[in-house]
Structure 1
C-alpha cells in the first residue's frame, strides 16, 4: 500500500524528499563555492579571511552528509548488488533486509553519537567565528544520519521490488 487517505504515498514523499535534498545540496555547493572564491580572492589581495578555512570545512562536511542522503535515496552508494541481484524470492528479500538493518542500525548509532557530540559542545563556539555555536556546526551529524535513514526507508519498497527505489529505475548500488 503506497498511498494513504490523503493521496500522498511513498512515491510522493520520496519525490518531495528528493527535491528538498537537491535544493539543500545545490545551496551548499553554491555557498561552498562562494566561500572558496572569497577566501582565495582575499588571500591574493593580502587580506586573508580568518574564518575561511573553518567555514569551508564545515560546508564541505554538510555537503557530504546531505549529498550522502540524496544518493541513498536512489541507492547509488557503493555496494555489492551482484549478490542480491542473483538471488530470488525470500532469500533475496532476507539478504536485502539484513543489509538494510545493518545500514540503518549504523546510521541510528551515528545519530545517537551526534547527539552526544551536541551535548558535549553545548556552550562552546567556533574558534574563528565565535558568534557561531560549535553545536550548530556539528548538528549535521545527527541530522545527516537521520536523513540517511529516511532515504533508506523511502527507497526500500523499490529495492524490494528489484529496483533502485526510484520510480521507473532499475538497478541498485554502484558495482
Structure 2
C-alpha cells in the first residue's frame, strides 16, 4: 500500500518536472530565435535537470529498475545470494545516508545565497540532494522485504531487479 502511494507520488513529481523542463526549454528556444534570450534559462534548466535526476532515480529504485546483475546473483547458492544482498544493501544505504548527511551540510553552508540570474534561494534548489537521498533510502527500504524473501529462496527464482526487464517488454 505505502509502496504504491510513494510510487504514484514520485511518478507525478518526475512527470511534472519533465513537463516544466520541456516548457522551459521550448520557451528558451523561442526567445533565443526571436533575439531575446532569457538570462535565467541555463541556470533554471540545470536545476530542473538535477531535480529530475534525483526524483527519477528514487522512482527507478522503487521500481527496481536500476542496473543490476540478476543473472549472476540468481546463479549463486542461497547463502551466497543472501550475503551479496546484504553487502549491496549496506553499500547502497550507506552511500545514500552519507549523501543525505552531506547534502544537509551543503544546505547550511549555502544559507542566504541565491541563484545568479533569479532570486531563488540556493538552499531550495539544492534541497533535492538530501530529499532525493532520503527518497532513495525509502525506496530501498520498501523493497527490502521482497529482496530478503528472494535472497533466502522463499520466492520464485525471479530476481527483484526484473523490473527492468518488465519495463523493457512493453
1:6 counterpart residue number: none
User: Residue 123 of structure 1 aligns with which residue?
Assistant: 112
Give 1:90 shift. Answer: 2.9
TM (norm. structure 2) is: 0.87
Any gaps of 5 or more consecutive residues in structure 1?
1-11, 164-169
Correspondence 1:1-175 to 2 at 5 A: 12-129=1-118, 131-162=119-150, 170-171=158-159, 172=161
TM-score (norm. length: structure 1): 0.85
User: Counterparts of 2:117 and 2:67 in 1: how far apart (Å)?
Assistant: 36
SS in 2 for 1:161: helix
Task: Point out where structure 2 has 5 or more consecutive residues left out of the alignment.
Answer: 152-157, 166-170
Deviations 1:99-137 (A, max 9, x none): 1110000000011110111011000100000x2001111
1:40 is displaced (CA, Å) by 0.5
75-84 vs 145-154, greater mean Cα deviation? 75-84
> What whole-Å deviation, never above 9, does each CA across 1:48-74 have from its counterpart, x for those lacking one?
111110010000000000000000012
The residue that corresponds to 2:155 in the other structure is none
SS of residue matched to 1:162: helix
Aligned length: 158
Bigger drift between 78-87 and 21-30 goes to 78-87
1:97 deviation in Å?
A: 1.5
2:78 & 2:35 partners in 1: Cα distance? 65
| In structure 2, distance between residues paired with 1:134 and 1:79 | 34
Q: Displaced runs of 4+ in structure 1, greater than 4 A?
A: none
